[in-house]
Amino acid sequence: MATSTRRTSPPGTIILSFLGFLAATVTTIAGAVFLATSGPELEEELRKRDTSLSDSEVDAAVTLTQGAGIAVAAVIVLGYLWLAFKLKAGRNWARVALTVLTLVQVGFLFVGGTADVLSYVSCAVAVFAVVLSYLPASNAYVDEVKHARG
């Protein structure tokens, strides 16, 4: 007895949402690259704020800041990519997780106070991607995938 497996293609709203989350991921990568290359600026700012630090302490603080920032960005990028691909595959839990992460991003954007233009663009793209993932065509696709999986 042969069973047929019908594979549905994601609608345009899911594809655009997926691409939006990829774009938001690219902006996170750009931020990590900026952080990795901003050592002299970080050093200068740290020296302005605390003149009692020795050169080795300033170097250590800059290295720690850059390393921690890049590590956090790497985790965010990998998580966003994984969730975006799961969204494209029609997983509702990925859509919910991306929604929560986007809400956290919006919260940090307005509470953090140090946002730049890239942060606002990334956040706007992520919000747009979330909205697309809940449009009727997206809902129908997620439901269809859920029922096909059993």
Residue 141 domain-assigned (yes or no): yes
The structure tokens listed for 118 are 């890239």
Dump strand ranges (E) for the chain.
none
Residue 5 domain-assigned (yes or no): no
Provide the domain count of the chain.
1
Buried b (16+ CB within 10 A) or exposed e, 98-132: bbebbeebeeebeeeeeeeeebeebbebbbbbbeb
> Could you give the CA distance from residue 101 to residue 36 in angstroms, rounded to a whole number?
24
Of 10-24, 27-41, 100-114, the range with the highest mean pLDDT is 10-24
Residue 20 domain-assigned (yes or no): yes
Residue 125 domain-assigned (yes or no): yes
> Could you give the CA distance from residue 28 to residue 54 in angstroms, rounded to a whole number?
32
State the average pLDDT for the chain.
Answer: 88
Torsion from C-alpha of 93, 98, 101, 105, nearest 10 degrees: -160
Residue 35 domain-assigned (yes or no): yes
The DSSP H or E segment spanning 29 is: helix 12-36
Q: Which structural domain, as residue segments, surrounds residue 68?
A: 12-149
Q: What is the pLDDT of residues 68-100, one digit of tens each?
A: 888 888 988 999 999 999 999 999 999 999 999
Residue 4 domain-assigned (yes or no): no
Residue 6 domain-assigned (yes or no): no
How many other CB atoms sit within 10 Å of the CB of residue 30?
13
Q: What is the pLDDT of residues 22-59, one digit of tens each?
A: 999 998 888 888 888 888 888 888 888 877 888 888 88
Residue 16 pLDDT more than 90? Answer: yes
